[in-house]
């Protein structure tokens, strides 16, 4: 098979959580552009409907679903609806995630009063783990349930699951709220465990660990604050924060047969942020 043909996902179906905005929307667009049918699932149903309609207007096959990934039963229903609409599931992006407030350090040069381990609100911890870690498990749990079902409409078996982690799951980030880091590190290790468990079924599980992307996370503050944006651009070795479009080729690689010998691994896409500082 020609190398470029291995990236073709025509006739497959994909479900993306957190697909109304940012990185999840870029994943959904990449799947649609690659030829897949796609469900855009998001707690923001208006946003998901708007983007699914736009993709349909561009000639793609897309549908929207309302979903809070911290609700296990609702997650199961959304996957069942995808299965009924598209006759199975080939690709799943467990992506929805939230910012969990300030970490212990403020870039302004002081300690955040409510970001210390002894002042951090346990309710914020619970919410972060519920969405950023349990939500990923519920998504993968139901994705694999559907992928293992026999009789897929396109005759395929197996599948590809891609979880969005973060470089904050690999290194410490003093400005990021505490629970975000163990949640993202937990995703990376869950991906390793599932790579092993699911290899026998032809289901590959990998993670993407993004660095700083310009999205709506945390209210999209970096979009509206040119000073913060400039400061972020300055600390990235490649000189700028990333736009969501820049994650699309990696998404297509991991979703498609182009990565058919990759499982249990993670890909860092961070402009060199994890390489250290020299100035």
- Return residues touching ligand NAD (CB under 6 A): 17-18, 20-24, 42-44, 47, 67-70, 95-98, 131, 135, 164, 166, 210, 212-213, 215-217
DSSP assigned state of 90: S
Q: Is 261 a catalytic residue?
A: no
Nearest C-alpha neighbor of 105 from the set 177, 188, 184: 177
Find the shortest distance in angstroms from Cβ 138 to ligand NAD: 10
Give the nearer residue to ligand NAD in terms of CB position, either 74 or 199: 74
Find the shortest distance in angstroms from Cβ 157 to ligand NAD: 28
Cβ-proximal residues to 124 (8 Å cutoff; 6+ apart), any chain: 100, 101, 177, 179
Q: Is 40 helix (H, G, I), strand (E, B) or coil?
A: strand
Annotated active-site residue in 120, 180, 261, 278: 180
Tokens for 33? 């552009």
**Structure-derived torsion over alpha carbons of residues 166, 168, 170, 172, reported in degrees to the nearest 10:** 180
Find the shortest distance in angstroms from Cβ 152 to ligand NAD: 25
Please report where in the chains the tokens 């990449």 appear, as a residue. 30
Cβ-proximal residues to 222 (8 Å cutoff; 6+ apart), any chain: 212, 214, 228, 229, 232, 241
Find the shortest distance in angstroms from Cβ 254 to ligand NAD: 14
Give the nearer residue to ligand NAD in terms of CB position, either 38 or 131: 131
Give the nearer residue to ligand NAD in terms of CB position, either 225 or 260: 225
Residues tagged active-site: 180
């Amino acid at each position: 098979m020609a190398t470029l043909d291995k990236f073709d996902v025509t006739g497959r179906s994909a479900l993306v959580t957190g697909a109304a905005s940012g990185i999840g929307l870029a994943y959904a667009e990449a799947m649609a552009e690659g030829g897949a049918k796609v469900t855009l699932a998001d707690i923001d149903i208006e946003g998901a409907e708007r983007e699914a309609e736009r993709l349909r207007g561009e000639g793609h096959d897309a549908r929207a679903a309302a979903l809070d990934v911290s609700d296990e039963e609702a997650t199961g229903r959304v996957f069942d609806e995808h299965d009924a609409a598209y006759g199975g599931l080939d690709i799943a992006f467990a992506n929805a995630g939230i910012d969990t407030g300030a970490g212990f350090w403020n870039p302004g040069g002081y300690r955040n009063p409510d970001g210390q381990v002894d002042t951090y609100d346990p309710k914020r911890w619970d919410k972060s783990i519920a969405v950023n870690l349990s939500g990923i498990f519920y998504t993968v749990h139901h994705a694999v349930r559907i992928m293992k079902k026999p009789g897929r409409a396109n005759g395929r078996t197996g599948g590809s699951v891609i979880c969005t982690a973060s470089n904050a799951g690999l290194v410490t980030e003093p400005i990021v709220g505490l629970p975000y880091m163990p949640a993202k590190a937990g995703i990376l290790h869950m991906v390793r465990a599932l790579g092993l468990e699911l290899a026998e079924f032809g289901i590959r599980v990998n993670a993407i660990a993004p660095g700083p992307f310009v999205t709506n996370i945390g209210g999209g503050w970096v979009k509206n604050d040119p000073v913060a944006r400039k400061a972020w651009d300055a600390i990235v070795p490649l000189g700028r924060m990333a736009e969501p479009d820049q994650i699309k080729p990696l998404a297509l690689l991991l979703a498609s047969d182009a990565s058919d010998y990759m499982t249990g691994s993670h890909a860092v896409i961070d402009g060199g942020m994890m390489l250290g500082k020299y100035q």
